[in-house]
Amino acid sequence: MKVFKTPRDMQDWSEEERRQGETLSLVPTMGYFHDGHLSLMKKGRELASRLVVSLFVNPTQFGANEDLDAYPSNIQRDLALAEAEGTSAVFLPSRDVMYPQGYQTYVELGSLPAHLCGLSRPVHFRGVATVVTKLFNIVQPHTAIFGSKDFQQLQVIRRMTADLNMNIRIVGCPIVREADGLAMSSRNSYLTPEERRSALCLSRSLDKAETLVRNGEKNSTVIGKALRDFIDSVAFTEIDYISLCDPESLEEVAEVSSPVLLALAVKVGKTRLIDNRVIVF
Ligand code: PAF
């Protein structure tokens, strides 16, 4: 497995692989791998002859009071795991290489960031769209794979790729969960054992909402209130948002119709967690 630290070296390798007729898939990550990341790598291996994994904690997608400096990291372990998944190359740039002195170009997005996580993380999706565009230009993949726990991120990237005519297939993969239902996240490592138990309220809320919908409840306010009451009763929690919305536009819906996206963000202790489910009925 090759490890490249500069865009030029990564680009040269990708160009040569493409010239030789290989197909490239990219799994963009911020590292600290769990089974969710590994499932994306497996998908990447299936869809192309060469898998590239990028490992970069992107500062432009973190707000001033967020966890950029505390973000968990274990690069040696990540490299070993990526290699075991059959990765051909890892792109591991520094912050200075990605955003050198004088850097000033960003991808501006329309209405998608005005919902869900974008409301409490105003610079987040601009940073994501910018770094993903840079990674696409550097790695030049045919296919890029993203998890659907960050559902809004996946929609932003699909929209951006279509709007900017990027010749890259975007593939979304299902959320990978712990045995008890907690969606896997590098940020779960911040949770104390008590908070870890409280964090189950996210996946349980999805189950509760799905049951309500299947039992005929279609009013978003009623469903939202039931979830709010439930989460508020769980220790260490603070709700950021609970949204029932259109899975494409992310616009809130008053009356639930199929399919509907239920998305939520909850702070458990100091850790902000997200989860979602598309309910089809
Ligand atoms: O989902 C992530 O880990 C990040 O947002 C991504 C796509 C790697 C961009 O930094």
pLDDT tens digits for range 164-196: 999 999 999 999 999 999 999 999 999 999 999
- Residues identified as active-site: 37
Which protein residue has the closest C-alpha to ligand 1 atom 1?
Answer: 29
Distance CA 244, CA 279 (A): 10
Q: Where are the alpha helices (DSSP H) in the chain?
A: 7-19, 35-47, 75-84, 95-98, 117-120, 124-139, 151-163, 193-198, 200-214, 220-232
| pLDDT number for residue 34 | 98
H or E segment and range at residue 265: strand 260-268
Question: Is 130 near ligand 1, meaning CB less than 6 Å away?
Answer: no
| Tens digit of each residue's pLDDT (9 = 90 or more) over 89-148 | 999 999 999 999 999 999 999 999 999 999 999 999 999 999 999 999 999 999 999 999
Please tell me whether the peptide bond between 259 and the residue prior to it is cis, using omega within 30 degrees of 0: yes
Which protein residue has the closest C-alpha to ligand 1 atom 2?
Answer: 29
Question: Is 30 near ligand 1, meaning CB less than 6 Å away?
Answer: yes
**Residue 66: CA count within 13 A, CB half-sphere:** 19
| pLDDT number for residue 76 | 98
| pLDDT number for residue 133 | 99
Strands 89-91 and 50-55 turn out to be parallel
Q: Collapsing DSSP states into helix, strand and coil, what is residue 197?
A: helix
Tokens of 70: 């505390």
Question: Is 140 near ligand 1, meaning CB less than 6 Å away?
Answer: no
- For all residues of the chain together, what is the average pLDDT? 98
Which protein residue has the closest C-alpha to ligand 1 atom 5?
Answer: 128
Non-local (6+) Cβ contacts of 36 within 8 A are 147, 149, 175, 176, 183, 184, 185
What distances in angstroms separate CA 148 from CA 15, 99, 126, 267, one per listed residue?
A: 29, 27, 18, 19
| pLDDT number for residue 2 | 98
Question: Is 131 near ligand 1, meaning CB less than 6 Å away?
Answer: yes
